[in-house]
Amino acid sequence: MNLYAPAKQNHSFFEKHRGIIDRAIEAVHKREFYSQYPEMPSPQVYGETAEADQKKLFEGQLAGKFDRLKQSHDTWMKSDEQSPYTQQKLGISYPAFGDVSKYITAAQSAWSDWKKTDAQTRAGILTESLERMKGSFYEVAFSTMHTTGQSYMMSFQASGPHAADRALEAIALGYQEQTRFPNKLTWEKPAGKVTLKLEKFFTTVPKGLALAIGCGTFPIWNTLPGLYASLVTGNPVIVKPHPMAIYPIAIMVTLIQEVLMESGFSPDLVMLAPDNEEKLITKELAENPAVKIIDFTGSSSFGRYIESLPGKITFTEMAGVNSIIIDSAVNLAEMAKNVAFSLSLYSGQMCTAPQNFYIPRTGIQVSGQHVPYEEVQKAITGAVEDLAAHPKAGPAVLGAIQSDMTHKRVGEAMTLGGKVLLESRSINNPEFPNIRSASPVLIEIPSTATEIFEREMFGPIVFIIPTADTRESLQLASDIARKHGAITCGAYTVDGTTMELIANVMAEAGTPVAFNLTGNIYVNQNAGFSDFHVTGGNPAGNASLTDPEFVVKRFTRVQAKVQS
């Protein structure tokens, strides 16, 4: 007898990728550097003609039907997607249901075999989909670039290798958490002259239908962890992408569907549910009682709404106000160059981008020498200006502005008050003369004007805030993190006691700190298998990529016992 035996299993992909899964599990525990997917475009790794071939595929997909998805549908929906580089509509139509409830019905109908299979089968299938994703990294890059405004290199890395690593991390942790205890055992308890004996059987029961709500700036990187965490734990998933960034995640959903079908499962286990401004469907999906799990990345207002829905398990990443605390430094120029890159990268449209810079108005110590506040401020402002003005580095680092709303916000920032230290301007890009762009605006503002700088100003908007001393800087940064959330904090100090104080105070505010970064490592960067992205310890989000809670809340462990 074997109660709870999987009704359907296929371990061929698991055996094929056992080495990858084992290495990923080891990396999750060691927290050392590990990457399954090389982050640089490489003909040797990804194919001699892959970039050119997939660019043609991308160009051929424009103004056409995305007919690669295998899911059920009854209509085609034309998207609102528009390239921030050309400001032209992509004109792509996606398979869809006119009635939103049909996504629910189709996904639930596809669920029966998937929820009764084992963790090995699911982990193998999902890892195979990531291995096939390597063959689409370039198309993913072009589609990300022309929906989000990320530069080409950033689009390749973030939506390709980095996102795949984060998805593999979710598979590894989900697989391990489902298999860490035995499926069956014989339990014996001495009781005097007799021995009590039971056969015990254990199974994991998935929570139910999951909804993955994508964002417009990182449509793959932010979607894949929750999508794969739900699938590996046995749940069907409806992917509701941002209306302006459908194409990149549509590629990924296609790859998963193809492997599911080859393994004898319904492609409707993971469905793309696109929408446009004419008919937005996120709330209708989220409020449906059949949806039990929701992953969301986006604004705090909508995130709070998601968290408030009754009967849902939610994993959110929302807005945060990230800080740089400057106390002292070894090299002023190197520090300035580093933070200039961090705040300029993708025009500040990253959840990890710094916004508030706190500098003592009495100045700082640099290699034992006193440097006035004005000189520190000018070093940062000058580094930003030099980067934005560089004919090659400027366009490559800043990319384009994803939405008109963000572009408008940058212009309005210069009227908020305070002293404008550096005005925003358009960035010339010879390849894309119609690009929607904006260099960072830097504004000096008093530390008493918290009503202005305690809220996230998404985009290339930076506040330079002179403070009484580092203790006031830390107080402001930590108070704002507790009240409004923060995902990152950077700090510069050569004093060990001050470093310990900053680390401890910000930890209590649920915010990780990166100290004294110079050179080619930045506060924005987040390493799969090592860094926990978002802590869940402040209002910037209630979940962390990827800790055990991110997967174990998606299933229940149930047992049966039989006396023998």
Percentage of residues of the chain with pLDDT beyond 70 = 100
pLDDT at 1: 67
| pLDDT tens, position by position, 342-395 | 999 999 999 999 999 999 999 999 999 999 999 999 999 999 999 999 999 999
Kindly report the CATH number that applies to the domain delimited by 12-38+67-319+543-563: 3.40.605.10
Question: How many distinct helices (H) and strands (E) make up the chain?
Answer: 21, 20
Tell me 144's DSSP state.
H
Confidence (pLDDT) at 530:
96
**What's the confidence (pLDDT) of residue 6?**
86
Q: How much is the pTM?
A: 0.96
Look at the block and give the residue holding tokens 């994993």. 315
CB 345 within 8 A of CB 150: no
Burial tier of 370 (Cβ tally within 10 Å: 0-12, 13-18, 19+)? exposed
Give the number of other CB atoms < 10 A from CB of residue 374.
12
Question: Residues 34-88: pLDDT tens digits?
Answer: 999 999 988 888 998 999 999 999 999 999 999 999 999 999 999 999 999 999 9
Contacts with 59 (C-beta within 8 Å, 6 or more apart), sequence order = none
Look at residue 4 and tell me whether its pLDDT is greater than 90. no
Joined together, the tokens standing for residue 342 give: 């961090």
Given pLDDT bands bounded at 50, 70 and 90, which one contains residue 208?
A: very high
pLDDT surpasses 90 at 22: yes
Where are the CATH 3.40.605.10 domain residues in the chain?
12-38+67-319+543-563
Across the range 494-514, mean pLDDT stands at: 98
When the pLDDT of each residue in the chain is averaged and rounded to a whole number, the result is: 96
How many CA within 13 A on the CB side of residue 516? 12
- Residue 46's identity, in one-letter code, is Y
Q: Exposed (0-12), middle (13-18) or buried (19+): which is 330, by Cβ within 10 Å?
A: middle
- Per DSSP, the residues of 23-46 read HHHHHHHH-----SS-SS--HHHH
Other Cβ atoms less than 10 A from the Cβ of 197: the count is 12
CATH architecture of 323-515: 3-Layer(aba) Sandwich (3.40)
Is the model's pLDDT at 340 over the cut of 70? Answer: yes
Return all residues near 231 (Cβ < 8 A) that are at least 6 apart: 122, 126, 237, 256, 269, 270
